[in-house]
Structures are given as C-alpha cells and as structure tokens.
Structure 1
C-alpha cells in the first residue's frame, strides 16, 4: 500500500478518486482501467508544475500500473507503452503538457478504431450465423459495445459471475439496447446452454498460442461449450496479447480473499474461521476457443501466433515488458 499512496500523492483530487476506483476494485474491465489511466495522465498535464515533473509523474503512474494491474492484464503494459512511448526522448519544456495530451489522445483514437472493427466483425458473425440467443460471461467493455451495437434485439443470458459480480454491469446497457436479458446464477449455465447459439467473453489477456485468460468460471463454461458443441468466442483487441509466454514467462496465479463477497451476512466468528481465498483469473486453452474476434478479423485460436507476434513487434519492441 505504501507504493500506492506515493502514486496517489502525485495526482490531483479527481484523478486520485479514479486511482482509488481501480485499486479498490470499484470499477471493472481492463479497457475501462486503461481509459482511466489515460485520464489521470491528462489530469497531470493540466497541473501547474514544472514540465519535467509532469513527465516523471506520468511515467511513475504508468510504471505503477504495469507492475500491479499488468500482472493480470498485459493490455495495461502495452497501453502504457503506447501512451508514454515518446516521453523518453522529450526534453523538458513548455510543450511537455501538449506531448502528454497528444500521446494519450492518439492512443484513445487508435483504440476506438480497433473497437469499431471488432464490433463490425462481431455483428457480421452474429448476422451470418443467424444467432438469436447469446450468452456472455463476466464484464468486458468490448463485449458490452458489441452487443449494444446489434440492430436486431437478441436474447442474452448473463450469468452472475459471482467471483467479482461481473455479470451485473452488463444488464443496464443491454436492457437499454432493447435486448431480452436473462440474468441467471453462474452455476445454472449448463441448464440453458442448449438454447444458446454462441458464447462470448472478453479477455484480461491472451497468449499468442490462443490461450485466453478471464475470470473464474470462464473455463467451466468453455468446457461445457465443448461438450455441447456451442461456439465459444473471445472478443478482444490485439492490445491484450502477452508475448512473454513465447519466452517462457507465464502469468502469475491471481487469487483473492472473497470473504467480503461470499461471506457477506455470515456471523463474524464463522467467517473468520473459514478460508475464502480463491483463484480469480483462469486460462481457457486454444482447443476450447472457437475463434478470437479482433480488429484484424475473426482468427481461429490455433492460428493466432503470427497475428499476435506481428502486433507485439509494432507496439512493444524495445520497451519494457514487465
């Protein structure tokens, strides 16, 4: 927590609230977190401080999130590298604030274009395969945008994803988009799967071999989709590829104490006597993924490596991959 407090002190008041929202888990989704990190950098660029300090604060903020949030989502690392890529060659001066703004806004513009292409490919997929009943699992801003872009209403099953309450954020947007929403317990996924034309998840990150990482439960859903021959798609920008796996550096196990959620309402002495630690992030192997829907198209999991490696070379070559 000491590192977090040091970074928090670098931020103006409004940006500090966004910082707290991320580290305390009040806001979900790697894409949303990336936008918030960019907004924090923009807030720093608006401070009346020396230009060199402005750059160093943005750099420290980015490195903090690469070291922490980047452990579960490599997209954080790639996004920070893209936003701060020009800082190292910047001489402190009056144009530093504009450099920060230009870098962050260029990243957002490119990210919006990538999301737009994913939505386009997703819409085409749903229409061409005549999908009328879909299932989504665990909140993803990319998945939300894709479903909300469909012109024809569909039935959407939203399992509760109890580990992080990741189903509920979908509900409002889907209802407003005109879809028929069925909110179910995640343990009941199998009972309705025969009615589903396709399952869609986002990804915290993915390996170039086509392994996707998402919230616990994503693996169970993938397994039963395989048993019942239900297509299982991962909607993700290539930003989330983690090429470190190709060099043998694999993800750390991400777990958490879920006492506050799973033990809510329990007697305190009983809750204190139980271990609530649980894995939060799980791997879904390429054999269980029908395809990835990316800005480069709909790519079978087993064909991902070439596309992923080419993207990573453009973004991260010569930069920190922590």
Structure 2
C-alpha cells in the first residue's frame, strides 16, 4: 500500500509563483498518475470539460483558481478594466460544464469578492482573489471532514456500503463527500466492506473509486453497475452513499448517470440511501429536479472511448446523459456539513442554511 490518498494526493493545487494550476489528470487513472501544469485558461476549460478534473467540489476549486489566474494575467491598470477582463474569464469558464452547481457557485463567490474590493488597485484586487480561491479550497477540506463525521454516525462497523461514481478525495480538496465516512471509519477500525459500481460509461467507479480505496487499504469490491441488485438481495449492502452535483430545494438530486437506478433498488430492498452533499451543491433557487439541466456527452464515450476497437455498430444512434435525477422520495437523508437533512427536504434544507 502506498499510503492513503487522503494524505498524499492533492488533485487540485495552485502554483502561484509559476502562474499555473496543477491538476491530477483523472482520465489516466488507474494506469498512470500524471499531474498537469496548466497556465492557459483554455487548457483549464478543457480540463473541466474533458473530465481531467471532476467531482463537484474539485471543479469549483479549479474554477476559483482558474478565474484568479486568468485575472492575474490582465494588464489592466484600473479597477473597471480589470473587472471587464475578470468577467470574460469567468463567463468563459462557466461554459465548461452545465450541471455541477459548484462551478457557478465558486465563480459567483469570486465575483462577490472582486466587488468587495471596489476602488482598490489591480494588484490589491488580484491578491484578494488569490486569497478567496485558497479559502474556497481550505473550506472544502473542512466541509468534507464534517460531512464524513455526520455520515459516519449513520453507519455501523462491518457494514457493506455501496457507492456509485467517485465522490472521494480526488473529487474534492480532501476526504471526499460520500467516501469521507469510509476514510474516517477506516481510521476508527470500522472495517467497512465497500462495493464500488463501475459506473458506465466513464468508469469512475472502476478507475477512480476502486483505485483510491484500494490504495487506502479499504476492503473494496468492484462490481458492474447491473450487479447492484443481486448483492443487495444477498444482504451484502446495508447502506448506499453517493455524492451529488446539484440538489434542488425539494431534495431532488442530480448525480452521475445510474444513481437513480441504484436509489430505486435500495428502496425495493429497504436499504437506506444517503446523498452526501456540501451546502454549496444545494441550489435553493432550483425548485425540483425538472429544473436541472442535464449535460449530454459525446457518443464516443459509449461506443469507442474505452476500447481498442469500437464496441458498437458504426454511426449507431446514442443517448449519453452525464447525470440523472434521483427523486427526493427515494432519498433517506442528505448529509451536509451542517448536519443531516431529512424529509421533507424543502424544510430541512432551508434550515441548514440558517445554521
């Protein structure tokens, strides 16, 4: 074992001295651990769009660092011109992924900090943006640990835990969201047995979750997505933990495609289904899941991207939504850094923001 990824891997890091963003290229895992050194905003946009960085919190951190670095490159000599350059970078990065609310949350927070510095010199504003981007990263680490502690209170030693996609330390600043209680439980000797869905078509469960849990010494078993039902029926799963990219005010939750199917199965087998989501992922302006825009991805991800030869007929029609929405009625609880929200979520989630 190489040591826990919680301790040794930072998937997103700012190298301010060299004006670059350093990202772990998650598309190469588990076969290669390569860190990208990105200086151009287009390259940062590409990294978000092409999933070199993924996971809602990590996307938000990347966006914050990206808009800072883009603004740092500006040669504007006054506040208004600098704000114009900042806005161009912000709007451009906002087009990279439409569903993950953390992207827009982080960019909006950076804009709010910019406006707080009204009237100051460009250099002072740039320093403030750097500070804010680092705060976003540091706060995410604490948020994830808190989510992990609340989620761990719902679990018992020796339980079997099913996960979908990757909501681990490489998707956040540290710890992860849905995997945070796994790591904290590991430290306490809970000896969880984790079943990781492979998560078609991009295989985040196979490439990422299985990899980082195995690296951390967690008992992890990789299964195909269509095997979740049988292991639930066999009594091997006592809880389901998933991350989330956007939570509507009524509790409807958008997560990686296939999540809603897992929730339906868990309901059938009377297994608790928990969504682990920082409050930055909760969008109170979004009333229901019907209001969440679902990103459609290229057909190649289904037909050829992971194969030496195409595994589908040439030019066959495909439908490749990146996410689906799990109905709030299927969710046992939504675990946030401020506590656990239970139905009715329209009340409990709103209360979380008041704490």
| TM-score range normalised by the length of the shorter chain | 0.7 to 0.9
Task: Describe the superposition over 1:216-263 as per-residue Cα deviations: whole angstroms up to 9, x where unpaired.
Answer: 211111111001011110011011112233399812232223324433
1:43 aligns with one of 53, 69, 81: 69
1:296 deviates by: 1.4
5+ unaligned residues in a row in structure 1: which ranges? 1-10, 315-322
CA distance in 1, matches of 2:115, 2:83: 9
Q: 1:82-231 to 2 correspondence within 5 Å?
A: 82-89=109-116, 90-93=118-121, 94-126=123-155, 129-140=156-167, 141=171, 142-150=177-185, 151=187, 152=189, 153-167=191-205, 168-193=207-232, 194-231=235-272
CA distance in 1, matches of 2:347, 2:329: 17
Match of 2:16 in 1: none
CA distance in 2, matches of 1:282, 1:45: 34
Match of 1:74 in 2: 101
5+ unaligned residues in a row in structure 2: which ranges? 1-18, 21-36, 172-176
> 1:77/1:131 Cα in 2 relative to 1: closer, same or farther (>3 Å)?
farther
Match of 1:59 in 2: 87
Task: Describe the superposition over 1:82-107 as per-residue Cα deviations: whole angstroms up to 9, x where unpaired.
Answer: 22212235225131121111222233
1:276 partnered with 2:318? yes
Q: Alignment partner of 1:200: what SS?
A: strand
Structure with a larger share of its residues in helix: 1
> 1:267/1:133 Cα in 2 relative to 1: closer, same or farther (>3 Å)?
closer
Asked if the contact 1:197–1:231 (Cα under 8 Å) also holds between the matched residues in 2, the reply is yes
TM-score normalised by length of structure 2: 0.75
CA-atom RMSD in angstroms = 2.7
Asked if the contact 1:133–1:196 (Cα under 8 Å) also holds between the matched residues in 2, the reply is yes
Q: Alignment partner of 1:246: what SS?
A: coil
CA distance in 2, matches of 1:79, 1:311: 19
1:189 deviates by: 1.1
Task: Describe the superposition over 1:254-287 as per-residue Cα deviations: whole angstroms up to 9, x where unpaired.
Answer: 222332443344459x643301222221111111
Task: Describe the superposition over 1:193-218 as per-residue Cα deviations: whole angstroms up to 9, x where unpaired.
Answer: 22111111000101111111111211
1:295 aligns with one of 333, 337, 346: 337
> 1:109/1:312 Cα in 2 relative to 1: closer, same or farther (>3 Å)?
same
